[in-house]
Amino acid sequence: MAELRRSVCPLDCPDACALLVAIENGRVTRLRGDPEHPVTRGFVCEKVARYADRQHSPERLLYPQRRIGRKGEGRFERISWEAALGEIAERLNAVVARYGSEAVLPYSYAGTMGIVQGASMDRRFFHRLGASRLERTICSAAGSAALSMTLGHRYGLEPEQFRHSRLVLLWGANVLGANVHLWPFLVEAVRRGAKLYTIDPVRNRTGRLSHRHYFIHPGSDAALALGMMHVIVRERLYDADYVERYTEGFQALRQRLEQYPPTRVAKLTGLAESEIVELAREYATRRPAAIRLNYGVQRNERGGLAVRAISLLPALVGAWRDVGGGLLLSTSGAFHLDRAALERPDLEQLSGLGRPARAINMVELGRALTELRNPPVMALFVYNSNPAAVAPNQNLVLEGLRREDLFTVVIEQMPTDTAAYADILLPATTFLEHTDLYISYGHYYLSLARPVLEPPGEAKPNAEVFRLLAARMGFQEPCFRDSDEDLVRTALASGHPFLEGISWDALAERGWMRLRVAPEGQPFQPFAQGGFGTASGRLDFAPETLEYAPPSESRLGDAHLRARYPLELVTPKADSGLNSSFGYRDSVDRETATLAMHEEDAALRGIRDGDRVRVYNARGAVVLTARVGRDVMRGVVAARSVRWLRRAPDGRNVNALTSDRLADLGGGATFYSCLVEVERCSD
């Protein structure tokens, strides 16, 4: 008889689903969505429904191992936890003694979204050690910074309220692929007469199901938003009352907008003039109007500005007033956990460094490993991430990982491309085997998951690994003895009103709870009456910052570069994958092995559908299979990410092409500002 247990999907996805897991004889037999959860609504995506293949995979890492082959080769011998921890402590001590504590670099991202296994004991450990601090910028940094500047809060329209919208702009948002639990609300809205428009350089499944698709050149969204504002102001379609009451800088904005007439914006974005005008009119007059903005728009050199400009639109037209109006990029800023108590940055004072540790931007990992001095990075500690596959400028990253004098520890569940470079490889538990607390960046529910299975072999939760290591390093502070439950209780004790009534006990009983963002049963309307989190409480149009220029790496950018590499490459998320987490599956490998090309661009190069093509630029090259058609705009090529290197015949994925240049805000990544050329493979 199968037993049904509660859990929570830990993956890096806005949906943070509440799960019901059927278990029989210690194995997962079925995994489905909690029908009572207002956003999960009883279903899970296809990739998680199949999670048992990962949970019970014969490839799972079960024991600590020591490298015996060359770096990258993936040959290891089994060792005990005792030996592994002893060796790590010894090597870390040696590095610290010779080079100083900043020669140690942690590298982690969102393999799990859980705060216990993702950002608690690990952070304490590295702060206490005085390691270099990692700036976790690879995904959303530019957009987050922009949202903080503009709205002052990193949250927005509640997903459940999209059902009341009458116009929804899906702006750089592949909802069906990467945020599927918003879809039922959109379907409901459409049934009531809503229009659904997509704005994207790629027409994906979501675009094909929308009423209208606007192709836009990567990195030009700020120009489109400014062009729409130009039309809205010129035609007096803005909400003068909202603007007057809750914003500032409008008069200067008017002047700034004169620079963005539709004629100019059409050239910058690739939309037709008439499309810009119509879109602006419709956006300003159909109410409620919602924008689902996703991080696709900000993974480029002008990504910060794009999010800044787009997030001004709802204030200009007063969309925040309506239930079902406004904008959603992220909800994560509403989860006011006590991060300082969890991560204890104050422990750095005990490290002997005598000043704040230096910060290293994770986007620049390749440079950090190959160019950084005083001190160089001599020990790298990777967990919850797979940088060999996901980080940009891959050839430089791999060069760094190959360094013989670099001591690398990787904590992993699976034999990833990064794991193959480890000196010591440690086995991690999955979300079904450990405790964690989960926030969401797509809704307002907080969830707790307890273990539902025993860990296989000798796998351990990240927090436990860092507890053991802290003891080995002689860190005496009591905080290194906190249990996972202690950590969750600490996180919840911030005293913020949104967390009122949410406790370990309540969560342990129910599994998930809505934040107290609004009274029960009532919609959360964050900015209906202003209430922006800015210093003045008003939204500042700050027009002096709204100066758009095309990305240097784009068809209108650096002339020398675009002459050699005329095509703009975007590498958005695979529908079947989750970054590189399911890269072992054939379905993911197939989806990430193709390059979508416009038929005219293909014809110019003698490329036909199904041809093997070499995509290249000055940073590297990768071989993919061409899919020729009209799903991307002319001048743009698109490949889904992220493929496992060891499954690719040439041992590289699209990140061999992508740039480690930083975005205009927040030190964000610019994966989608990437010029390439494509040629047919000769054989």
Ligand X SMILES: Nc1nc2c(c(=O)[nH]1)N[C@H]1C(S)=C(S)[C@@H](COP(=O)(O)OP(=O)(O)OC[C@H]3O[C@@H](n4cnc5c(=O)[nH]c(N)nc54)[C@H](O)[C@@H]3O)O[C@H]1N2
Q: Report which residue type is found at 424.
A: I
Q: Which stretch binds ligand X (CB under 6 A): 57-65, 72-80, 345-353, 653-661?
A: 653-661
**Residue 13 binding ligand X, by CB under 6 A:** yes
Q: Residue 517 is encoded by which pair of tokens?
A: 């963002």
Check residue 363 for interaction with ligand X (CB under 6 A). Answer: no
Place of tokens 């440079």: 367
Interface segment toward Mo ion; rule CB under 5 A; list 66-74, 138-146, 304-312, 503-511 = 138-146
Of 35-43, 170-178, 271-279, 401-409: span binding ligand X (CB under 6 A): 170-178
And the tokens for 603?
Answer: 């014809």
In the shown chain, the binding pattern of residues 272 to 311 toward ligand X, with x for contact by CB under 6 A and - for none, equals: ----------------------xxxx--x-----------
Cβ proximity of 273 and 224 under 8 Å: no
| Residue 116 near residue 124, CB atoms below 8 Å | no
Q: Where are the beta strands (DSSP E) in 329-444?
A: 359-361, 379-383, 407-412, 424-427, 436-438
174 forms part of the interface with ligand X (CB under 6 A): yes
According to the binding rule CB under 6 A, does residue 545 interact with ligand X? Answer: no
Residue 591's binding partner out of ligand X, Mo ion, none, with CB under 5 to 8 Å set by partner kind: none
Residues 369-428 within binding reach of ligand X (CB under 6 A): 383-386, 390, 411-414, 416, 428
User: What is the CA 624 to chain-centroid distance, rounded?
Assistant: 24
CB count, 10 Å around CB of 98? Answer: 10
- Outline where DSSP puts E strands in 618-681: 620-629, 636-638, 675-680
Q: Where are the alpha helices (DSSP H) in 209-292?
A: 221-234, 240-246, 250-257, 262-269, 273-285
Alpha-carbon dihedral of residues 580, 585, 589, 590, nearest 10 degrees?
-140
Question: For 342, how many CA atoms within 13 A lie in the half-sphere containing its CB?
Answer: 25
> Among 72, 156, 201, 270, which residue sits at the site for ligand X (rule: CB under 6 A)?
201
Report the C-alpha gap between 20 and 465 in whole angstroms.
Answer: 28
Q: Is 268 in the site for ligand X (CB under 6 A)?
A: no
Our CB check for ligand X shows the closer of 292 and 321 to be 292
In the numeric block, which tokens belong to residue 554?
């784009």
**How many Cα neighbours within 13 Å face the side chain of 22?**
9
Q: How far is the CB of 241 from ligand X (least distance, A)?
A: 30
Determine if 139 is a binding residue for Mo ion (CB under 5 A).
yes
Supply the minimum distance, in Å, between the C-beta of residue 580 and Mo ion.
11
When CB distances are held under 5 to 8 angstroms depending on the partner's kind, the choice from Mo ion, ligand X, none that residue 331 binds is: none
Question: 449 or 528: whose CB is closer to ligand X?
Answer: 449
Binding track over 566-585 against ligand X, x by CB under 6 A: ----xxxxxx-xxxxx----
The site that binds Mo ion (CB under 5 A) totals a number of residues, namely 1
Closer CB to ligand X, 14 or 100, in the complex = 14
* Tokens found for residue 108: 């982690």
- 3-state secondary structure (DSSP) of residue 30: strand
Q: Quote the least distance from Cβ 577 to Mo ion, whole Å.
A: 12
Q: Which two tokens stand for residue 279?
A: 């879109």
Candidates 102, 158, 160, 200; binder of ligand X (CB under 6 A) is: 200
Main-chain phi, psi angles of 471, to 5 degrees: -65, -45
Task: Answer positive or negative: Cα dihedral of 641, 645, 646, 651.
Answer: positive
Contact between 632 and ligand X per CB under 6 A: no
Tell me how crowded residue 580 is: count the other CB atoms within 10 A of its CB. Answer: 28
Which of positions 127-156 make contact with ligand X (CB under 6 A)?
A: 138-139
Min dist. Cβ of residue 310 to ligand X (A): 9
Burial of 24 (0-12, 13-18, 19+ CB in 10 A): exposed
Site string for ligand X, 206-235 (x = CB under 6 A): ----------x-xx-x--------------
Binding site for ligand X (CB under 6 A): 12-13, 109-112, 117, 138-139, 171-174, 177-178, 199-202, 204, 216, 218-219, 221, 294-297, 300, 383-386, 390, 411-414, 416, 428, 462, 570-575, 577-581, 641-642, 654-655, 658, 671-672
Binding site for Mo ion (CB under 5 A): 139
